[in-house]
Amino acid sequence: MNRCWYLIVVVLLFLTKNGLGQKFYEVSTLDSAKVKVYAVDLLEQADLLVYFVYEAKDVTKVGYWMEVPTAKEAQVLIIFVDEEKQADLKIYLVDAPEQAGWRNESKKDLLKLE
């Protein structure tokens, strides 16, 4: 049984390290952010379709985002910007989990963990 838990932990670490779901913390300054994010109004304008989840166990798929209360808990530090031209990543919020995912895969590296 102990070996099974070890395998599960290794698989989960692998999945999160490869940028599947993201635990993020919203910082207050541009200099503190790893990624500058702009929320677009039209799906067609987005690089990533995002579905918000509220439990860590649900951060399992590309585009599943969960806000965490401290920077220490986050996988990525972001800031939402007011102007599209300032953004590294444009997101569109979706209502259904199956809609989440990349529309512009060239932006994948922005959410890869170090």
Residue 41 within a domain: yes
pTM of the predicted model, to two decimals? 0.80
Residue 113 within a domain: no
Q: Which amino acid is at 77?
A: L
Residue 110 within a domain: no
Phi and psi at residue 32, to the nearest 5°:
-85, -15
Please count the structural domains in the chain: 1
Domain that holds residue 84: 2-105
Residue 114 within a domain: no
From first to last of its 114 residues, the chain has per-residue pLDDT tens of 445 444 343 344 444 444 457 999 999 999 999 999 999 999 999 999 999 999 999 999 999 999 999 999 999 999 999 999 999 999 999 999 999 999 999 999 998 754
Relative to beta strand 22-26, strand 101-102 is: unpaired
Relative to beta strand 76-80, strand 64-67 is: unpaired
Residue 111 within a domain: no
Q: Which amino acid is at 9?
A: V
Rounded Cα distance, 80 and 92, in Å: 12
